[in-house]
Amino acid sequence: MAKKNEILSRKLRMGMVGGGPTAFIGEVHRKAIRLDGEIELVAGAFDIDPKQSRKMGRMLYLPKKRAYNTYQDMIAGELALPVGERIDFVSITTPNSSHFPIAKAFLEAGFHVVCEKPMTMDVKEAVKLKEIVKKTRKIFMLTHTYTGFPMVKLAKDLVADGKLGKVHKVIVQYHQGWLMRALEKSGQQQAAWRTDPKQAGAAGCMGDIGTHAANLAEYVSGLSIKELCADLTPFVKGRKLDDDGNVLLHFNKGAKGVLTASQVQVGHDNDLAIWVYGENGSLEWHQEHPNQLLVKPIDAPKEIWERGNGYVEAASPAAAKNSRLPGGHPEAYIEAFANLYMRAGEAIRARVAGKKADPLSLDFPTVTDGVSGMKFIEAVVKSKGKWTKIK
């Protein structure tokens, strides 16, 4: 879209779909891109209600003509601009049911795409989207946020470097309690679509946060889930989709594990945590204390690794690249999103300029992770207590 080398000497231009005045995650994305000053938001179709989209445009001080009524108007409007003014990529932060049509339309119009998870409504759409990404040769980044944390990258590198020896067990959990009340009945926006199969997809809690846990387990361990046995429950009366689930996992290379995800575990906020066990030691990371990684060698005292220290950077170039502050000044959720945007931005610049991207720049979740996530969701819903293969 943009000219070859000019993309190397300016900020990347982003458009956003979703993220209206009452939305949750769109504003987090906007805060994340402001952190490094490499990307500017120049256009958007921010809300399903065109009036709210225009209002959001005013709140963001955008020119009137770039706060569009619909995403289709945004594609037409951006294509009508001179090449040097158009967006380079779009960020999709709408509920799950619209990810596929919006991503497809922007890719086919020639734009790179950042997309929220779960990627699509089913495996069929996910596979189709992967084909479209391949055909259009565009960068596609899926915002599995937790892979953007530096200490998660350190954990991945320690496992890959053999610090734990052969991994035989992975435990991962994502526990929340905010849906114990039927908030959807009072019209609470974020609860309403998450509990509606037409907007959320085949799974509730498992699609919303179980996929994050599955992605984290595969990313850190370097293994992939090959079969699972799941027990999903909607505990809140009248709910059509699960708000809780317990899953046994079989990974490749003989490793086994357990994944639990819940939005009705009262007392938990965003309690995502992972434990990886190998023959020579284990490690442990908690999202609510993200600047520390616990490493427990089999025959030595427990170690607390703290982000921002030279020994972390020496062990993991990826942790170093995705860290901004010295140790003791905490980094967390917004920085993790910013890391995903920084890496995808570097990949977009390299792709447009026809240059080879640094391998560390390509360390972000892609359409392939999106396909895995949809296969995970399909299998946990299908399982109903029986072992179910993931192909």
**Residues in contact with ligand NAD by the rule CB under 6 A:** 17-20, 23-26, 45, 47-48, 71, 93-96, 98, 116-117, 143, 145, 189-190, 193, 208
Whole-number Å distance between alpha carbons of 236 and 239 = 6
Nearer to ligand NAD, 271 or 313 (CB): 271
Nearer to ligand NAD, 112 or 117 (CB): 117
End-to-end CA distance of the chain: 36
CB-facing half-sphere around the CA of 100: CA atoms within 13 A: 20
> Minimum distance from CB of 13 to ligand NAD (Å)?
19
| DSSP assignment letter at 359 | G
Nearer to ligand NAD, 143 or 372 (CB): 143
Q: How many CA atoms lie within 13 A of 354 on its CB side?
A: 5
Least spacing, CB of residue 210 vs ligand NAD, in Å: 11
User: How many C-beta atoms lie closer than 10 Å to residue 141's C-beta?
Assistant: 24
**Contact call for residues 237 and 224 (beta carbons, < 8 A):** no
Nearer to ligand NAD, 66 or 349 (CB): 66
For the bound state, the minimum distance from the C-beta of residue 44 to ligand NAD, rounded and expressed in Å, comes to 8
Closer residue to ligand NAD, CB minimum distance, 52 or 224: 52
| The token pair that represents 64 in the structure block | 């009137």
Minimum Å gap between C-beta 176 and ligand NAD is: 11
Dist CA 349 CA 44 (whole Å): 21
Burial category of 83 from C-beta neighbours within 10 Å (exposed 0-12, middle 13-18, buried 19 and up): exposed
Q: Helices 71-79 & 99-108, crossing angle to 10 degrees?
A: 10
CB nearer to ligand NAD: pick between 24 and 387:
24
CB of 18 vs ligand NAD, minimal distance in Å: 3
Three-state DSSP state, 18:
strand
Minimum CB distance to ligand NAD, residue 16 (Å): 9
